[in-house]
Amino acid sequence: MTHFSAFTILENHASQKPHADAVICDDAKLSYGELVDRITSISGWLLNHGLVPGDVCGVSIKDQINHLMCAMALLSLHTPQVNLPSHETDINKRALAGKLAVGQIITDQHEEWMEGRSVIVAPIRTLVAPPPFPIGICREGRPRDTIGLYQNTSGSTSVPKTFGLTLERLMMITERLAKEPFEARVLRTGSIEFDASRLHRICALLAGNTCVLSGQVPLRDLASLCERAQVTEIQMGTYKLASLVQTEHREARRLPAFTRIVTGGSRVPGPLRKKIKAALTDNLWVSYATSELGPVSLAPPGEHDAFPEGIGSPIDGVTVEIVGADGNLLAPGQIGEARVRKRGVPSEYLGDPAASSVFRDGWFYPRDLLSRAEGAPLIFHGRVDDVIILNSINIFPSAIEDALESHPDVQEAAAFAVKSRIHGEIPVAAVVLSGGSSYGDISNLLEHCRKSLGIRAPRKIFIVDRIPRNPAGKPLRRELASSWREQAFVSRDF
């Protein structure tokens, strides 16, 4: 089996283009030559302060460039790593560290929840050159089936599940990024403490590309940042992009022609696509991806008008099939459960054999509902677990949300099921009104839905200040349903 050395790959980039931009952030810039020097210093410093190569290491560093440098040093030292992010609760971080038998934590601030483990407080940006260390440790390769890092799922329907990514998977992502011109200089707005962002930035550097790191960028400043850093691609989650477009669209300036936006992580409905195109760019791409697989499909700008809910065709190397409850393939155009095949996919969730049933016979079942007509792209209809069954009629939350968000008084909506003794389940929706109003004509919204959805319209609608979402921007439907029940809005007739 061929071996993998991240440090050797970076050294090759540094020798071929020492002055090329590797990392650009708000207050610093690193060339590839400087990047390798920095990683060498950090690696030596960590070894001299007790790092044990090969033991699973937790990283709890909020600063983006510090975190990225630490991640690259650990990869160079062949030390598997896992994020222990600041946005998680101390209880969850301790549980994850326990599940992976984390022996050491690298952090910029010692915290109480870290007690009982070896902790290295690393002043990464101010490190001076360490004493000499055997750099051959970094240059040694490792088998490609070795785990390089651990990731968690988004936890959209339950607690997050953990899986390992091999060096082979890292190389697959790296090779794809190296081939795609738009991936050359990427601004990814999600913090590096989110697993998908960390993974992308690690592989971008291995591909020889440029990582543009930035904090919260107001929409009015986005175009000038792209011009200054020559950003070729912005990767921004759907909910974050929608929030910016809803609240700051009057201040927006259109992006440079050489910059495209790729968005995903949750549904990107047709009206939102139109707003993004009107405010920022026609060069909008919609991605469908999962934590376990990475990118699955990509919808280009030319498909949005004809297929406002389309998520594109499978990318190279990915096979998508749509099956019924019996596991057999469905006819074109029918809605069914997706299964996806892709080289390098994990085979299990760590310590969770029941949940690992989604990995079967070389396929991954993401529990998403898709359809695809002849000659058309994939269409996303929601998750299997979110389907509302009213008197044996399947109702997709996405249809209710689209109907509500087409109303001028509604900024965003989320539909969910409430248990009913008579009907099995009833559809209910929570809405955030445009302008943040707490008052609206609910009867008007109900009638608006009935006109387009008929019996599939929500039976109740209630107004909220905000829709609870997970870090990926997906609505927390169970939390909404629980809130609905607690407020005793459901009558005994249901």
DSSP 46-100: HHHTT--TTS-EEEE--SHHHHHHHHHHHHHTT--EEE--TTS-HHHHHHHHHHT
- In whole angstroms, what is the distance from residue 300 CA to residue 470 CA? 26
pLDDT at 11: 96
Q: Residue 209 to residues 21, 24, 214, 226: CA-CA distances in angstroms?
A: 8, 11, 16, 15
Domains of the chain: 3-316+348-354 (3.40.50.12780), 387-486 (3.30.300.30)
- Report pLDDT for 394: 85
pLDDT for the residue 439:
65
Residues in the chain predicted with pLDDT less than 70, given as ranges, are 1, 124-131, 154-159, 436-439, 486-494
Phi-psi region of 101 (alpha: psi -120 to 50; beta: other; left: phi over 0): left
Nearest residue to 253 (alpha-carbon basis) of 233, 230, 285, 279: 279
**What are the strands of the beta sheet with 104-107, ordered from one edge?**
118-121, 104-107, 57-60, 81-83, 147-152, 162-166
Distances (CA, A) of 114 to 349, 350, 413: 24, 22, 39
Is the CB of residue 431 less than 8 Å from the CB of residue 412?
A: yes
Longest dimension (CA), the chain: 76
Amino acid (1-letter code) at residue 201:
R
Report yes or no: 299 and 310 within 8 Å, Cβ to Cβ: yes
Instruction: Name the residue among 192, 210, 201 with its Cα closest to residue 173.
Output: 201
Distance from the first to the final alpha carbon of the chain: 61
Place of tokens 């299964």: 339
Provide the β-strand partners of residue 177: none
Pairing of strands 368-371, 359-360: unpaired
What b/e sequence results for 322-349 when a residue is b if at least 16 CB atoms lie within 10 Å of its CB, and e otherwise?
A: bbeeeeeebeeeebbbbbbbbebbbebb
Query: Residues 182, 183, 189, CA angle at the centre, nearest 5°?
Result: 110
For residues 383, 388, 389 and 394, what is the CA-based torsion angle, rounded to 10 degrees?
-60
Secondary structure letter of residue 177 according to DSSP: H
- Got the DSSP string for 281-305? -S-EEEEEEETTTEEEEEE-GGGTT
- The pLDDT value recorded for residue 129 is 61
User: What pLDDT, on the 0 to 100 scale, is given for residue 492?
Assistant: 43
**Helix locations, 115-235, DSSP H:** 136-139, 167-179, 195-206, 219-229
Number of H helices, E strands in the chain: 13, 28
Could you tell me which of 98, 93, 95 has the C-alpha nearest to residue 107?
A: 93
pLDDT at 491: 43
Whether residue 461 contacts residue 447, with contact meaning beta carbons closer than 8 Å, is answered with no
pLDDT of residue 157: 46
